[in-house]
Structure 1
Amino acid sequence: MTSLGGVEMVDWNLAAATATRLVKPGPEVSREEARAAVAELRRHAAASEEHVRGFTRMAPDEAADTPVLVVDRPGWIRANVAGFRELLSPLLDKVQARRGNGPGGAMLGVVGGKVTGVEVGMLLSFMASRVLGQYETFAPPGRDLPGAPGQGGGRLLLVAPNIVHVERELDVDPHDFRLWVCLHEETHRTQFSAVPWLRDHVESEIHAFLGETDVDPSMLLERLREAVQSMAGGGRPWSDGGEGGTGGTGGTGDEEGRSLVELVQTPAQREVLGRITAVMSLLEGHADYVMDGVGPQVVPTVAEIREKFQKRRAAGAGRLDQALRRLLGLDAKLRQYRDGERFVRAVVEEVGMDGFNRVWTSPNTLPTKAEIARPADWIARVHRKAD
């Protein structure tokens, strides 16, 4: 990354150290229970490959195979610090240059990198206790975090303590729940390993979004600071007592209730963000559709798990959790699961799985944001044109 006097815009090492220090260790388990959970997740991850590939009819390139890593919360933090550092470099280079041209730029670089590192670390500590699994796409491979050669370091992460925590909280069969989670995450792994152009396309869209960002460095730092203050219970409230956990902002015209992404948007970014939203809705909805589609054959209690999990996903853990989800854009992610799953289900019902799989032909066959909401429009565009 471009730095000023050797000082980065974000002190990533400090971010990782802060997040690791603040994150809770997870549920209490014995050494034997922990080893058994890790071993079972590995078995389920391996079994999920055949289930997902058979159901989706997608054939990943074996040469592009990516590793499966069962990690704890600090392991998830290290992987995501590496991913953010790689992915955000265009934006931070731009902000760094603007800061360097201003008065006191060098001193701001030293102080700001430390401050921002702590704040990013606090946000990562919040997220690290909530993520069950993740296909980590962008971080380069390293000694502690291996990745597929030639795939930008792609790897599947399963966060064992979080999975155990949620299965206990929901009071569901742990063996079924672990396999159910693995089916979702394996679907993401299959998407990226079976569609060679997908990773580069998503990365180019994110870089286009970041490249259009026109934000003053102090504003960007202030957004992070507001997020941390909300997490600590201080600062300006981001929701009022009358809003539900996944409700909108109420159309007041001010900035309350908006996510960090929305707060830094420029007009040019909105078009790019629409495309990113569409592809992420497709990927998340497809994974939800597959995990429930495969479920009845291999997860006997899938209906119970889905019902309880949906209630938990919608409710959040309380007002503070809801405020952070809204600020960080996680409510938008919940809508991506819902809207994307509806799109996939509608298309498969109309044209079958092979007809749906035309979506992976090229970036031009990906649905638009409008088509996610109106699957018939995508069918008409892609299938009529191809036929």
Structure 2
Amino acid sequence: MRVPMSDRDHPIGDAIDWTFAAGVGARLARPGPAMSRYTADTVVAELAAAADRAEQPVRELTGLGAGHADPAPARVVDRTGWVQAAAVSMADLTGGQGGGSWMGKPAGMQAGAMLAYLSSAVLGQYDPFSRSLLLVAPNVVAVERALKVPTADFRLWVCLHEVTHRVQFAEAPWMAELMRTATAELGAAADEPVSELVGRVVAVVRDRRGNDEKQMSERGVLGLLRATQSETQQLALDRMLALGTLLEGHADHVMDAVGPGVVPAVGSIRRAFDNRRRRSSNPVHRVIRALLGVDAKMAQYVHGKKFVDTVVDRVGMAEFNAVWSGPDAMPTLAEIDDPDAWIARVLG
């Protein structure tokens, strides 16, 4: 299925050629599930409508979004479209670090392969830099078929999650700059030869034993690198992980908290979806997931939702919303696992 993309110029820089990465990823992305033209058109229309319908319940439940302008319509894309948009977003995040010269091609090849793999897993994404909400139609169809859940309910449920991200960044635009700053700090050692970087990762992996193997699976390469980073880079990584955990956990809380009045099958969808997350994939996929930090993403949903559930249960949504007031109100990684500590520090 092909969904039109806008002709936007891709940023150029020196470290990774993101334009090249987008081309590689688009070529390597696997086709989505088979469907007729009519079915494809129907999915696109229903997802776009579901994104519009999700806006009001998200605003009502969270208490966020008052006074903000109506958002742009969601863009429904295929896997190739997501790869292209993700490459642009990554270039934005890294300050236009890309490259039209041959020096950026090897890293662009690797980045493109990564985007191709992820393109079959992402259901939707909000890009805070372009302020666009993307919904990946073939992946939504693949998952709802696998789960055997009501399609209208599942599509709205997915949109509730992604629209929550849009509302989060509209309420707290400082988060986009925090992401850029942390990314710049993480890339402070970008001049290190790739061979040395890989050597450090291999050394850390070799030394992991017992419970540390589980840690590697949960945190991916970023978690392994933390042990060899400078203090500044460790702090930057922690801020990124804490922010990601908060955002994903809050969105998961919202998509469930709206209840059956909005999504009648919400309970059965959540059970089926969580069972799918826990299912083991084949060994090759497990290695790739660990290396890309996909399992870390899954852990973010679990830990983040538990944090939000606990805080909202104890102090209510209005008090919880202090978290969007500025960087100092954001929970630390330690506070994610200790909500009372965040309540005591931020709410007094």
TM-score normalised by L of structure 1: 0.78
Letter in 2 for 1:21: R
Aligned to 1:181: 158
Which residue of 64, 80, 92 maps to 1:58? 64
State whether residues 58 and 194 of structure 1, in contact with CA within 8 Å, keep that contact through their aligned partners in structure 2: yes
Q: Is 1:352 matched with 2:313?
A: no
State whether residues 180 and 291 of structure 1, in contact with CA within 8 Å, keep that contact through their aligned partners in structure 2: yes
TM-fit CA distance, 1:162: 0.4
Q: Is 1:206 matched with 2:187?
A: no
TM-fit CA distance, 1:176: 0.8
Give the 3-state SS of the residue equivalent to 2:16 in structure 1: coil
Aligned to 2:329: 365
Aligned partners of 1:248 and 1:79: how far apart in 2? 35
Aligned partners of 2:263 and 2:218: how far apart in 1? 38
Which residue of 106, 118, 123 maps to 2:109? 118
Q: Is 1:261 matched with 2:222?
A: yes
State whether residues 284 and 337 of structure 1, in contact with CA within 8 Å, keep that contact through their aligned partners in structure 2: yes
Q: Structure 1, residues 10-68: CA drift from partner, whole Å, max 9, x if none?
A: 33333222211111220111111011111111111000000100000112553483441
Distance 1:201 1:110, change over 3 A: closer
Distance 1:358 1:11, change over 3 A: closer
Q: How does 1:35-184 map to 2 (within 5 A)?
A: 35-59=41-65, 61-63=67-69, 65-89=71-95, 112-138=103-129, 153-184=130-161
Q: Structure 1, residues 47-92: CA drift from partner, whole Å, max 9, x if none?
A: 00001000001125534834411111111011111112232358x5
Letter in 2 for 1:176: D
Q: Structure 1, residues 161-208: CA drift from partner, whole Å, max 9, x if none?
A: 100011001111111110100000010010001223222223222223
Aligned to 1:32: 38
Distance 1:275 1:14, change over 3 A: closer
TM-fit CA distance, 1:257: 8.7
Aligned partners of 1:133 and 1:31: how far apart in 2? 21
Distance 1:76 1:53, change over 3 A: same
Which residue of 229, 241, 245 maps to 1:281? 245
State whether residues 242 and 336 of structure 2, in contact with CA within 8 Å, keep that contact through their aligned partners in structure 1: yes
Letter in 2 for 1:49: E
Distance 1:110 1:366, change over 3 A: closer
Unaligned runs of 5+ in 1: 97-108, 139-152, 227-234
Give the 3-state SS of the residue equivalent to 1:59 in structure 2: coil
Give the 3-state SS of the residue equivalent to 2:31 in structure 1: coil
Q: How does 1:230-379 map to 2 (within 5 A)?
A: 249=213, 259-265=220-226, 266-268=229-231, 269-379=233-343
TM-score normalised by L of structure 2: 0.86
State whether residues 16 and 104 of structure 2, in contact with CA within 8 Å, keep that contact through their aligned partners in structure 1: yes
State whether residues 249 and 308 of structure 2, in contact with CA within 8 Å, keep that contact through their aligned partners in structure 1: yes
Bigger Cα Rg: 1
Distance 1:128 1:355, change over 3 A: same
Letter in 2 for 1:267: S
Aligned partners of 2:224 and 2:250: how far apart in 1? 29
Aligned partners of 2:176 and 2:169: how far apart in 1? 6
Distance 1:26 1:248, change over 3 A: farther
TM-fit CA distance, 1:333: 1.3
Q: Structure 1, residues 296-327: CA drift from partner, whole Å, max 9, x if none?
A: 21111111111111111122532222111111
Distance 1:117 1:214, change over 3 A: closer
Give the 3-state SS of the residue equivalent to 2:122 in structure 1: coil
Q: What number of residue pairs does the alignment pair up?
A: 331
State whether residues 249 and 258 of structure 1, in contact with CA within 8 Å, keep that contact through their aligned partners in structure 2: no
Aligned partners of 2:191 and 2:217: how far apart in 1? 18
Aligned to 1:229: none
Aligned to 1:23: 29
Aligned to 1:10: 16
Letter in 2 for 1:137: P
State whether residues 64 and 167 of structure 2, in contact with CA within 8 Å, keep that contact through their aligned partners in structure 1: yes
Give the 3-state SS of the residue equivalent to 2:30 in structure 1: coil
Aligned Cα root-mean-square deviation (Å): 3.0
Aligned partners of 1:12 and 1:271: how far apart in 2? 26
Give the 3-state SS of the residue equivalent to 1:179 in structure 2: helix
